[in-house]
Amino acid sequence: MAEHIFQALDKNNNYFNYIELYVQPGDIDNLTPNLAKRIARNEIIIHAPHMGNNFDPSAPCDPEKQSNHDKLKDAFIAAELFKSKQIVLHGGIYYGADSLSKNIDFINELPEQQKKLIAIENLPYFSDSDSVIKRRYAISSPEEVEKVINATGVQLCLDFSHAVCTAISSGLDPIEQIDKYLKLEPDMFHICDGLMNVDKDLHLHLGVGDFPLKDFLKATHGKPVSLETGKSRPRDCYAQIQDAKKARTLYNL
Ligand SMILES: [Zn+2]
């Protein structure tokens, strides 16, 4: 990580309360003691590998299933190292009616100590609409999320933008759908701006789109909120620092 990003993330600046850290398989092998020490100065929430690393808990059997469990190992090591209370986890692809139960089985195979760290994230109904093949995700609607929570006891990370995408893809009202996710009492949140009539996860900076951000933020009730603004890897965190300031202002209005 670049030095100016470390400075922006430094908790003494009070820009951010915590860092959500995406752990790719193999990352732990490349973690130097110096880097680990710097990261450990901050409060950390871990994000497990996702489809970008071919992690797909819908895979029904070995060797894919075992390979998915292997890919999670670094996330658990990182969670222990940085004392993370949550590991945000994506469900897999929808291959058919039993996809949800495959995901539930995958989670329930984890040792209890690991399972209690998992926060399942609601995904958009479809993967990136720009891609040639649109793929549907197995865990996106409030009903699917509820089934997973009831069957596994995991925590919930509510991604507002994914929730809007899912509602639009399904021809449903986004606000009504978000109320259903909120009834499941999410433990943490992902937020960015977007467009209320578009089924695409746009990762817009706060104030650029038309999401009712004040209402979204008020509904978080002081639980952790990760900013997911900006599509590309930031060269600095200037825009995200402005987003964090805006989010705090809106929350306190
Ligand atoms: Zn995620």
Domain definitions of the chain by residue range: 3-252
Q: Residue 61 Cα, ligand 1 centroid: separation in angstroms?
A: 24
Q: How far apart are CA 238 and CA 243, in angstroms?
A: 9
What's the CA-to-centroid distance between 50 and ligand 1, angstroms? Answer: 7
Give 1's pLDDT tier (boundaries 50, 70, 90): low
Distance of alpha carbon 158 from alpha carbon 156, whole angstroms: 6
CA-CA distance, 253 to 250, in Å (whole number)?
5
Calpha distance 85→230 (Å, rounded): 25
Name the pLDDT band for 4 (thresholds 50, 70, 90).
confident
Q: Give the lowest-confidence range in 64-68, 135-139, 154-158.
A: 64-68
Contact predicate 226/191, CB 8 Å: yes
Rounded to whole angstroms, the maximal C-alpha distance in the chain is: 52
The Cα–Cα gap between 177 and 234 comes to 31
Spacing, Cα 170 to ligand 1 middle (Å): 20
Compute φ and ψ for 233, nearest 5 degrees: -65, 125
Average pLDDT, the chain: 92
Look at residue 8 and tell me whether its pLDDT is greater than 90.
Answer: no
Cβ neighbours for 22, distance < 8 A, ≥ 6 positions apart: 47, 49
CATH classification code of 3-252? 3.20.20.150
Q: How confident is the model at residue 244 (pLDDT cuts 50, 70, 90)?
A: very high
What's the 125 CA to ligand 1 centre distance in angstroms? 14
- Judge whether residue 159 has pLDDT over 80: yes
Which H/E stretch holds residue 106?
A: helix 99-108
CA–centroid distance, 2 to ligand 1, in Å, is 23
Q: Please say if the pLDDT value at position 98 is more than 60.
A: yes
> Given pLDDT bands bounded at 50, 70 and 90, which one contains residue 5?
confident
For residue 47, the CA-to-ligand 1 centroid distance in Å is: 7
Distance 55 CA to ligand 1 centre (A): 12
| 234 pLDDT higher than 80 | no
Give the whole-angstrom CA distance, residue 159 versus residue 175.
Answer: 13
Determine the pLDDT at residue 235: 74
pLDDT at 132 over 60: no
Is 129 a residue whose pLDDT tops 80?
Answer: no
Could you report the per-residue pLDDT of 49-96, keeping only the tens digit for each?
998 898 999 987 777 888 899 999 999 999 999 999 999 999 999 999
Is the pTM higher than 0.85?
Answer: yes
Opening angle at CA 160, ends 97 and 86, nearest 5: 80
- Which residue reads 């658990």 in tokens? 76
Taking the centre of ligand 1 as the mean of its atom positions, its distance from the CA of residue 157, in whole angstroms, is 9
Contact 10, 239 (CB under 8 A): no
